[in-house]
Amino acid sequence: MKTNQREHIALITGANSGIGLALTRRLLSENWQVVALNRSDFPADDSFIQDHLRNGWLRAYKVTDLTDYGSLRPSLEEIKGKEQRIDILFNNAGGGSSELSYSRQGREKHYELLTVVPYIILMELKGLLNNGRFKTVINTSSQVFRFTKEFTIDNLEHPKTFRKMFGPYATSKLALSLWTQAAAPQLAKEDIKIRSVDPGINNTLRKGKDSGLTAWFELFMKFFSSPPTHGANLLYEGAFGKHRNETGVFLLKNRIADLKFTEHAQRVLEKVSEIYSHEFIGGSVQANG
């Protein structure tokens, strides 16, 4: 998708490393403008990225902690105040933890970061999307939830047990894809399309940072997985490829795949919507759980 002018604008969360950085580089190289919402700075030694930061085609907004509404709210307000429109939103920011922990609002942190926050970002930036051309949302999901054997809303918020990768991380990614499916019909009334995409297995390991992966999988990822450009290309195809006119679908290896536990999809949507309305907009912050 080449353009002569930088007339298209993408917003990418988690754009400063891994898949998000690879996607940022690809879009900038194809004459897009990129708006980034990151917890950390872009690499200082990446001359391509730094050049685009200087000339304004890449605009970075900082958020200290995506799971803390007190931190997230002003960052989103700044974006709404400074940006005119967004053509496509890539809800890509992620992360895993090796132990059970909770957000400031009192919910399990994977669920807050991977399920709830992408919904908040979508709802807060929907006005900018409505001003854009493609009006498309791509949520980065994961096929790891195919190993999920049970699913309840209560267990999402306050898990009774914890497993690396296959516990809260997997169920939170499933919940993301479920609300993506459930939200599609209502968003379609505003001509907004939304899809969740599995970016495959990519080597996104960062030295000194907890990956949240099991030891054997971290070893596999280090030596046998694809570079982050692979995942970035799948997100790109999910946005602009053969399924660009579909909405609500989950894409696995660039094909539409079935989801598990779809009977819970509407309830997941209702729950994240309730959190957004009562806590994010309402501004109430519960004590730590």
pLDDT in tens, 195-222: 999 998 755 545 655 556 556 456 555 5
Cβ neighbors of 7 (< 8 A, separation 6 or more) are none
The answer on pLDDT for 66 being more than 60 is yes
- What is the residue-averaged pLDDT of the chain? 90
As for how many domains the chain has, the answer is: 1
pLDDT value at residue 84? 97
48: enclosing H helix or E strand: helix 47-55
Q: Let me know if residue 289 belongs to a domain.
A: no
Report the Cα 102 to chain-centroid distance in Å: 19
The answer on pLDDT for 274 being more than 70 is yes
Calpha distance 220→222 (Å, rounded): 5
82: enclosing H helix or E strand: helix 69-82
Q: Let me know if residue 4 belongs to a domain.
A: no
The answer on pLDDT for 139 being more than 90 is yes
Q: What is the sign, positive or negative, of the torsion defined by CA atoms of 147, 150, 153, 159?
A: negative
Residue 283 or residue 168, greater confidence: 168
229-245 per-position pLDDT tens digit: 999 999 999 999 999 99
251: enclosing H helix or E strand: strand 250-252
pLDDT value at residue 3? 43
Please state whether the predicted TM-score (pTM) of the whole model is above 0.85. yes
CATH number of 57's domain: 3.40.50.720
Indicate the pLDDT class of residue 161, thresholds 50, 70 and 90.
confident
Contact 90/135 with Cβ under 8 angstroms? Answer: no
Q: Let me know if residue 286 belongs to a domain.
A: no
- Give start and end residues of each alpha helix (H) in 165-214: 168-188
> CB-based burial of residue 253 (10 Å sphere; 0-12 exposed, 13-18 middle, 19+ buried)?
exposed
Angle among Cα 273, 264, 146 to the nearest 5 degrees reads: 115
pLDDT value at residue 9? 98
Calpha distance 140→210 (Å, rounded): 19
Q: Let me know if residue 259 belongs to a domain.
A: yes
Indicate the pLDDT class of residue 227, thresholds 50, 70 and 90.
confident
pLDDT value at residue 205? 46
Q: Let me know if residue 55 belongs to a domain.
A: yes
Q: Let me know if residue 194 belongs to a domain.
A: yes
Domain boundaries, position 273: 9-281
Q: How many CB atoms lie within 10 A of CB 7?
A: 11
